[in-house]
Amino acid sequence: MDRPSPRTRATRGIRLGSVLGARIVLTPSTLVMALILAAFYGTGEDGLTRHGFALGLAVAILLFVSVFVHELAHTAAARAFGREVEEIVLTFFGGHTQFRSADPKPLETGVIAAAGPFANAALGGLAIVAANAFEGTAGEVLWYAGLLNFILAAFNALPGSPLDGGRVVNAIVWGSSGDRWKGHRWAAQGGRIVAVAVVVLAVGWPLVQGRGVDLISAVWAMFLFSVIWPASSAELRAATVLGRREQVTALSVSAPAVAIPYDSTVTEARELATAAGAREVVVLAADGQPAGHFPVSLTEAVPEEARASTTLIAVTMPLARGAAIPADATGQALVEAVVPWFGRTDVLVVTDKDGLPVGIAKLEDVKDALS
């Protein structure tokens, strides 16, 4: 499974070296899983025998080699798109590839995700062909290797997050609709369907047919459900929130404003605001930079007969120097533009592409819109 992310600390575990610029890490729990799988695959009608355990251990090792090939394919694909890959981690649950993806595109997202299952399918085919050339234990081990790789390829290709097939669904929907978060939502919903389908096939289907439920199949189904359902649900929640953020712009959460020089009078400010349909006035300093603001309604407190001679200092509230954000800032760009100003000011000037003030946004309103 590929996992785009910002730079992270190295995963704790056994360092096995590096490949394609990525460190290879084996978590201690993986060794425990190898022994469990060896005992499971090595137990036959006569119980656990030395030969059976050796065969089971070989199958377990082949499984983790297959997982490594899967993650290596993700790494190679990511590198082909110029992405920096940090590490390949083999875990109790399988593995994941950690790479940096600051500005992902639909095509590369889909190709990187599809590379893993494709590599397993190709390796499985080669193993099955090779198995026919050998007899005895070697042929049996190769046959198991082929089967395991086909299972890995098929399972990871299922169309739901957090599986690779879900990433492909994400890429297809994103690429065709232009909506990144719609792609995530479709993939997450697919993941929920896959999680439920696994349990239905392992538990519900045998019961419908009047057969008993296989305990091992049921345990595996519940284990997979406990992994897939929470992950896909978390992605769905995140995609919903982040998708909503993409609909929020700095301008949409601001009050319309007009900019006037500091030496204007209250009367002039009211006239300009009325002509522009503004509810706020941004006061410009001598250098043309926003220095203060006030709501037009505040000028009602100035007696009508005194407005023509009253300067703006009587109604102006100061602005933090440089407290401005672009009118078209949205999503993560809006978050990054706003966060540095929390605790420093209550309002921000919203500017157009030419840097001219067009609105006043309250930080609390922006925060509420992005929540």
pLDDT digit string, tens, across residues 183-203: 999 999 999 999 999 999 988
Residue 102, pLDDT score: 67
Extract the tokens encoding 63: 């499984």
Closest CA to 334 of 300, 363, 292: 363
DSSP 279-302: SEEEEE-TTSSEEEEEEGGGGGGS
- Only one residue has tokens 């992605």, namely 235
User: Residues 137, 119: contact at Cβ < 8 Å?
Assistant: no
**Which H/E stretch holds residue 124?**
helix 106-131
> What three-state secondary structure class fits 103?
coil
How far is residue 50 from each of residues 2, 59, 61, 133, 136, measured CA to CA in Å? 37, 14, 16, 25, 16
Question: pLDDT exceeding 90 applies to what percent of the chain?
Answer: 39
Residue 101, pLDDT score: 66
The list of the chain residues with pLDDT below 70 reads 1-10, 37-38, 40-48, 51, 92-93, 101-102
- Tell which CATH classification among 3.10.28.10, 3.30.360.10, 3.40.50.10490, 3.10.580.10 matches the domain 251-370: 3.10.580.10
> What three-state secondary structure class fits 352?
coil
Name the pTM for this structure: 0.71
Extract the tokens encoding 54: 């050796």
pLDDT digit string, tens, across residues 269-313: 999 999 999 999 999 998 889 999 999 999 999 999 999 999 898
Alpha carbon distance 115, 76 (integer Å):
8
Residue ranges, comma separated, of all CATH 3.10.580.10 domains in the chain are: 251-370
Residue 25, pLDDT score: 85
Residue 21, pLDDT score: 81
Alpha carbon distance 326, 349 (integer Å):
9
User: Residues 196, 206: contact at Cβ < 8 Å?
Assistant: no
Extract the tokens encoding 262: 């500091």
